[in-house]
Amino acid sequence: MKVTMPGITVADHVFTVPLDHADPGGRTIRVFAREIRDPAVTGDLPWALFLQGGPGGQSPRPTGPGHWRPLLATHRVLLLDQRGTGRSTPVTAADAASDAELAGYLRHFRADAIVADCEHIRKALGIGAWETWGQSYGGFITLTYLSQAPEGLRACHVTGGLPGLEATADDVCARTYERVRAKVRRHYLRYPEDEAAARRVAERLAGEKVLLPDGDRLTVERFRTLGMKLGMGDGSERLHWQLAEAWHGDRLSDAFLYDVMAETGFVGNPLYMVLQELIYAQGAATRWAAERLLPPDFGAFGMFTGEMAYPWMFDEIRALRPFKGAAELLAAADDWPPLYDPDRLAANEVPVAAVVYHDDMYVDAGLSLETAARVGNLRVWVTNEFEHDGFRMAADQIVPRLTRMVTDPR
């Protein structure tokens, strides 16, 4: 299907790929991708593959040029619905006969499989080599791509997503809690009244049973996960207004409860929590790192958590309950293959430009800079001007700078 909307032309692509690329004759799944172009820019433009953040997130749905404008001036852009997301074959627990079967199926949804899908798509489209733009987890995929199939890459751009090459889930969670604590403190400095407001909500949830519109109980732990958005450019403001409008008289408002249900329900992206710690698994088991390393002060009523997966989620959140048994098996697995090849990355010749957000809540800047020093032909820009969503909020600044870093060796 091909449609034109104001300032943009959209064409759909569907590809059939092996579930397990090591078994090309076995089970297959569908992977969907959306090509976008500026109809005013003609000619045989080079391709740019956009790798979405996540894990488990579908590609952005364009409504016009928006923040894609700087890229569309020079490229046709392919927005990939990574396997299991969006219009690609969905992941549902009903497709498996047992927890073990579902866990085995889910092992095929990490970065290595996504890279193999990308290579399948590149060849199917007849592209010699393409550029990539990796946002957040898309940067993790980029490093796996450079480790496994650099011949398919002409240049890579990473926005807020350089992973620690050997960092474990324990390493990442310990560092993340420190950054979340700092973000929460900064929020309360900006909006001092919000600390008492958060405590009031938490005290009500601890003292009585409050149900969300879908029937799930809103617990203190689930309420705390609203802090996940504090790493975005407008996250502090969004949390402030949620707290300011949480009450209708002496009860929590219907609008607040509906908003919390939608924000914390993972109805459209259960893979986000299923895979959250597994993207760091290389050999060792993750064993619910965020739960084990939860600092004592995060039990305070005024404290929020961030981008962490907890076992209670698979009991208390409707969309995640069917994945509980498989998630337990995956958390205990200790035979994960490596996602990165440090030697191949050190010898890398593909031009790479990366922006590291100094105050990033989701991706540790220290680990990112350690990785940047270990990858050949990689140039890094460190800034505190933007939060994690800098690409979406300021593409007109970020795209030209990263492009120059790739093309200009100075």
147-179 tens-digit pLDDT: 999 999 999 999 999 999 999 999 999 999 999
Residue 396 designated active-site: no
Structure tokens at 286: 């993750």
Single out the catalytic residue among 38, 59, 88, 136.
136
- What pLDDT is stored for residue 1 in this prediction? 63
CA-nearest of 180, 136, 175 to 354 is 136
User: Given pLDDT bands bounded at 50, 70 and 90, which one contains residue 56?
Assistant: very high
**Domain ranges across the chain:** 2-165+340-407, 169-332
Residue in 283, 284, 332, 331 with CA at minimum distance from that of residue 308: 331
pLDDT at 98 over 80: yes
Average pLDDT estimate for 56-76 = 92
Q: Residue 2: its pLDDT value, please? A: 74
162, 182 Cβ separation under 8 angstroms: no
What pLDDT score does 409 carry?
A: 63
pLDDT class of 410 with cuts at 50, 70, 90: low
Q: Check 44, 335, 343, 408 and give the catalytic one.
A: 335
Known catalytic residue at 236: no
CB 269 within 8 A of CB 58: yes
Average pLDDT of the chain?
96
Q: What is the pTM of this model?
A: 0.96
Q: Which tops the pLDDT comparison, 292 or 2? A: 292
Supply the pLDDT for residue 64.
Answer: 85
pLDDT given for residue 5 in this prediction: 79
CATH of domain 2-165+340-407: 3.40.50.1820
User: Is there a contact between 393 and 231 (Cβ–Cβ < 8 Å)?
Assistant: no
Task: With cut-offs at 50, 70 and 90, classify the pLDDT of residue 252.
Answer: very high
136 catalytic per annotation: yes
Residue 65: pLDDT above 90? no
Q: What is the pLDDT of residues 178-236, one digit of tens each?
A: 999 999 999 999 999 999 999 999 999 999 999 999 999 999 999 999 999 999 999 99
